[in-house]
Every structure is written in C-alpha cells, then in structure tokens.
Amino acid sequence: MRLQHNGVKIMQEIKTLFTINEASHWASDFLKRDISASSISYLVQYGRVRKYNGDRSTLIDADDLKKYYESYQGLREINWKKRLGNDLNWSLSFDHLREKDTTKHVHRLHPYKGKFIPQLVQYFIDNHKDDFKDDVYFKTGDIILDPFSGSGTTLVQAHEMGIHSIGIDISHFNCMITETKLNSYDFVLLECEVNKIKRSIAGYETDLNITAFENELLARMADFNNKYFPGSEYKYKLQKKQIAEDKYATEKEKEFVKIYNELVKKYSIELNHFSSNRFLDKWYIKNVRKEIDFAFAQIKKIKDVKNKKILAVILSRTIRSCRATTHSDLATLKEPQVTTYYCWKHKKICKPIYSIKSWFDRYATDTLYRLKTFAKLKTSSYYAVIPADSRTIDIFKVIEKQNKNFYEVLKKQKIKGIFSSPPYVGQIDYHEQHAYAYDLFGFERRDGLEIGPLYKGQGVEARASYVEGISKVLLNSSKFFADDFNVFLVANDKYNLYPLIAEQSGMKIVNQFKRPVLNRTERDKSPYSEIIFHLKDKK
C-alpha cells in the first residue's frame, strides 16, 4: 500500500491478521496436522507471536505465525536426535497430547516428582494392537506388578484396562495416595464430608488483618505488573531479546519489595522467623501454619476411613502448594520465601501464600471431579497396594491376608510381569519430597530403605548399591512370576547399569526403547531422554 505524505512516497506494509480460530485453521493446513485454537492461544500467551487487539477479538499477524512455525516445524525432533542419537523413538514422545490428557482423571490427584505419564504405561500394557506396535504383552485378566509404585500410575492404568495389579512402595504416604485414587466411594457421603470441611476452614480466622492485607497487596501488584510486566507484550520482548531479563527483573523486584514491606508493617502481619527444624514450622507463614493444624483436626473427626484418607490427601496437596517458596522452586525447595519476588515461571511479580482457604476449596472441588470421572472408567479387576520393601516381601502371603479372592487368582495365574520406573540413582529423596505430609500425618519415615536416594550421590559406591538393590527387587519379584513373563523398566541409565542389573537378576534385555521426555517442569529444558528396558528370563 502506497501513502503520499508531503510529496514523499511511503511504503506501508499490509498485514494479514487472523483471529484465533482463523489462525488455527491456517496452521492446520500449513502443518498438515490438527492445530487447536488453544495451541494458538498458548503461542500468544507465552509471547511466541505478537498479539494485536481487534474490535472484539485477539488478532495475529499471518507472517509472524508462519515465521514461528517455519522456525519450529520439525526442528525439535531433528535437534533432539542430533543431541541424543538417531535411535530416539519420537512416537513415544506423545507430543500430540495436551497437559489435560497426560494428567487425566485421578493421575493429578496429588503431585509426585519423578512419575511417568499414563500414556507410556498404556502403550506397553494395552491389549489392542495398533499401527505402531505388533506385540501384546498383557491381556485383560492378567496380573501386573509395580515394585516401585510411587503414586500409582501403573495401577490406575491397569485397573482402567481390566488388568489386575499389585503395587509395592517403601513409602506409606505414596501408598496412601495410590489407595485414594483406586478406592470406590459413596459420593453422596463424600461430598457431604468435603463441604463440611470446606465450610469449617472458610469460617476459621486466625488473623483478622490477613484478608485486608492481601487484598491491598494484590491491587498494588496488579498495578505494578500491568505497568512493568504487561503480559504477552513483555514476554514477546523477552523472546526477541529486547529486554535483559536478569537485570530488569532484579531492579523491579527490589522496587516492589519496598511496597510489600510497607504493607506488612501497616497491617502488622506476622510472617515467620523459620528457626525451627520441623518442616511445617519452617516452610509456612504463621497464618497458614495455624490453618493447616485446624483443617487436619477437623479431618481426623471423620469416621469413614476412605473419606478421611482422601480428605487428608486433599489437604496434603493444598499444603504443598502453600509452602513459602517461589513458583519455580516448588518442586525442589531452596530457601523459605516470605517477600514478593520476580517469578521466572509467570514472568511477573508474585507473592507467598497467606491462607490455605482458596487452595483447599479448589483442590477439593477438583478431586471430587477427578474421582467421579475415574469411577466411570473403573473395572472389576483386583488391585493391592502394599507399603513394604520389594526386596524381601512375600507377595503371596500378603495378598492372601488382604484379599482371599485376589489370592486365588494370583495363586492360579501368577504375575505376568512388571511395568515400573525404579528410582534413578542419586536424583531424588523420595521421602523428603513429601516431608510436609510426613510431618503432618506422623507416618514413619523409611528413608534408609530407599534405593538410589539423592543423599547417597552417584559415585562408584552409590552405583554399586543401586545395582544390588534393583537386582534384589527383580530376584524377589521373579519368585511370583508366571512363565514367559515381561518386565518393563523406565530408566535414565546414564551409567549403563541395567545390563549388569539384568545379569544379576537372571534376566536378559531383549529390547530397549529410547524416548524423549517433553514438557518437563524444570527451568532447564535441555533435550533429555529415558529408556524403557524390556527384560525376559535369561533361560
């Protein structure tokens, strides 16, 4: 388009602007695969493409969108294979799935660091052949074992697919999470209990200034963030390297902390000196700490054991989110955070949590929805959740005590195999990640029985101990196997320990599947892979 101004010809670029839905259709045609409107909205929200304001809708420049896809299309797979090897099985990336698919129904009942997505389990234990795999390893009515069951992903998927399952974990709390996912509930009674607890918490006040303080703080934060961190526009500038994030964020963080401190003083808010060694005293602001104790006291009054457990899990999920830490450090705690701060996750000034009320309400509602959704998918298959050491447990004896009917099936069929993700050597302290729950509920901690915990490191001795531990688990488990069993172990085997583990367990690795791990929560998004080892009897 040509414009005339004071005799000078000016070239003005004509932009083609799409609505979100139009952009979705265009991108689907361009990439030859379905691109949802929510995917386009994601690009705008996180500053991948520039946002234009239309009369009634958000608009996107077609050229901007094309440049983004041309720079990204296929490059991730190519680059990841370049970094991690051409043996990377991209079909196991499940990159077509949305987060709500990988956290479906009860799989998001409680956070758990180190768990795999349910689709990975389903891929290997699905009893229907598809275009991508020819072998069927488990069928309806078989029994599958997870000797490191964690939060129960394998058991939930097996139950949904009509496969009997046994989960063993050294952590009592992990077993409680798994049980609450699999239990059947009287939802009328459960909803009554949930609503009663929600009302009690909502009506409990420990500091009358908290609400007024937080309301003014939120208003001041909104004004500040709108001015200095204006949503998608700010994120777009970060993407284009127009802002030096470290320097800019540090300056603005210090600027707002002054406002925060003034409000704390104005409302006489008691924060916390964090001098205690107890987790609950160290990692929570005073008001939150008092609300936690009150809520737990109400839950302990519930008579129905299943309802009491699921409400305890809701409270645990709540207090995990309410720890005095930054959003970026929620998975791995560093230092208590009692002031406002620049959030690397949300790209703006964020604040600590001062009350559990809204979080408990949100998680209670979400939990009921997830339990009801899964209830429609549940089958009549048996399951057992056992808090024990997988190296020594007599599975038959325990199941006989727990469930006679399941024992009869187990005795006749035996266990068809394993799908499990053993702990990675020297990466996670599995008890410590839920220290808040152990502190609150008083469960016995059995850290010393963990295999490959973080505190042992990744040195030669730690690796030898790890090999011995995993091998003992497989040797003990194999006592209860049927003939022609299949064992699938998900591992990041950077020290090449699993060939030795297989050898010491009397098994052999018959196949391995190397998959890219996408959508990790850590700030380090470097290409990362794990291997699913397929083991069978060495004989």
Rounded Cα distance, 298 and 312, in Å: 10
Query: What is the 3-state secondary structure of 429-489?
Result: CCCHHHHHHHHHHCCCCCHHHCCCCHHHCCCHHHHHHHHHHHHHHHHHHHCCEEEEEEEEE
pLDDT at 523: 47
Per residue, the 3-state secondary structure of 291-311, as one string, reads: HHHHHHHHHCCCCCHHHHHHH
Tell me the CA distances in angstroms from 238 to 228, 256, 294, 309, one per residue in order.
13, 20, 44, 45
Q: How many CA atoms lie within 13 A of 528 on its CB side?
A: 12
Residue 38: its pLDDT value, please? 75
CA distance 521 to 527: 13
- Identify the three-state secondary structure at position 529: strand
Q: Which residues contact 442 (CB under 8 A, 6 or more apart)?
A: none
Residue 86: per-residue pLDDT: 78
Domain with CATH 3.40.50.150 in the chain: 87-183+378-537
Say what the pTM is: 0.83
- Ranges of residues in the chain with a pLDDT under 70 are 1-14, 33, 46, 71-75, 77-78, 127-135, 273-275, 519-525
Backbone angles phi, psi at 509, to 5 degrees: -85, 115
User: Vertex 399, ends 148 and 377: CA angle to 5°?
Assistant: 70
Identify whether the C-beta of residue 537 lies closer than 8 Å to the C-beta of residue 500.
Answer: no
Domain 87-183+378-537, second-level architecture: 3-Layer(aba) Sandwich (3.40)
CB atoms closer than 10 angstroms to residue 141: 13
Instruction: Provide the pLDDT for residue 272.
Output: 76
pLDDT digits (tens, 9 = 90+) for 82-114: 888 878 887 788 877 778 888 999 999 999 988
